[in-house]
Amino acid sequence: MLLKKLKINKIATGIALTALATTAQAGFKIQIDDDSSIEFGGYIKADARYVDGNVAFADYWIGGNGKDAGGSYTDASQFKLHARETRFNTKYTHGDVMAFLELDFSSPSVGGNEVISNSYSPRLRHAFIKYQNWLIGQTWSTFMNTSAIPETADFGGPIVGEVFVRQGQIRYTNGGLQLAIENPQSWGGTDSSNDNLPDVIAKYSFSGDWGSVSIAGLLRHLEPEGIDKTSFGTSITGKIKTVGKDDFKFQLHHGELGRYVGATITKDIVGGKVEETTAYSVSYRHFWTADTRSTIFYGNAEGDLAKTDRSHFGVNIFKSLTKNLSIGVEYGNYDVSDLGVNADSDYLQFSAKFVL
């Protein structure tokens, strides 16, 4: 009898078949009663990727990419085809309470390999509860602005110049203001057992017909290896509408940010001192037609103490074949210009994505 009362509706997802790095919206909704519903969504994405150069192959570029398995920068070329970015999510809503869960398959495989099965293990991306103005659980850091991430085939785009962190947190939102305490983790020292205070983040977002801009601050207490220091970092990010459907996206981050930027480009602690990082990314997306668009992007990050300098450039074109299915091709370059190192690799990637 209960099943007869359920109303199953296909929801217009409104996803731009882009935003490869953002939380996929739920796509199918089951209305349980007047106050309760459950939604299912995600997407299936297939990637064919060719990398040529002396920076080792990676499924997508992050700040820590560089040496091969032998610990060197060696000229090589490699091609791979996979669907690891595929993800599924579910959202349950009851009155003012919402719970969200999302998994993908980007973890190393357990019991699988590319010789036979090409199996990949599910991993937790998001798991959080929202009640009125409060959120608790794991999701993107409050310090991050997902609307400032460009549309790319390479997952996340120029991650070297972006804030890119998911972690446990308690967040309060009131209009454009967000305040949060988040999971601390001193990275780079030999001991993180003294992480006894949460990271504190404050962010304010402005929005209008012109787009949106967010300003954020990060406050942390670092106490590994005898260090006892309060560190601070800042960020300004945004998406600005330009001509027609075109947009310009940017991110600028500076301070003692460590693991928050570049996805492992710099550590929190280097040589017994707190590292300082400057990172930025810019992108412009142009719509050739209503269903065809291109993005050109660039990202860079530098670590002051470690003398790291990594950058990522790319240009692409995407076409929406249907409301839910898009295909695209992207060319780009990843460059390592650390102290005493000069290495880079070109890549060409084709992607097909179906939003559920």
Phi, psi of 29 (to 5 degrees): -120, 135
Q: Which pLDDT value is given to residue 69?
A: 63
pLDDT per residue as tens, the chain (356 positions): 444 444 444 433 333 333 333 444 557 889 999 899 999 999 999 999 999 999 888 888 887 777 766 667 888 899 999 998 999 999 999 999 999 999 998 876 665 677 777 788 889 999 999 999 999 999 999 999 999 999 999 988 899 999 999 999 999 999 999 999 999 988 776 566 677 899 999 999 999 999 999 999 999 988 776 778 889 999 999 999 999 999 999 999 999 998 899 888 888 888 888 889 999 999 999 999 999 999 999 999 999 998 999 999 999 999 999 999 999 999 999 999 888 888 999 999 999 999 98
What is residue 153's predicted lDDT score, i.e. its pLDDT?
Answer: 95
If 0-12 CB within 10 Å is exposed, 13-18 middle and 19+ buried, where does residue 229 land?
middle
The token pair at 4 is 């007869």
Q: Who's near 56: CB < 8 A, 6+ residues apart?
A: 65, 66, 67, 68, 69, 73, 74, 76, 345
pLDDT, residue 340, reads: 81
Q: Break the chain into its structural domains and give their ranges.
A: 2-355
Q: Cβ distance 65 to 158 under 8 Å? A: no
Three-class secondary structure of residue 336 per DSSP? strand
Note the CATH number of domain 2-355: 2.40.160.10
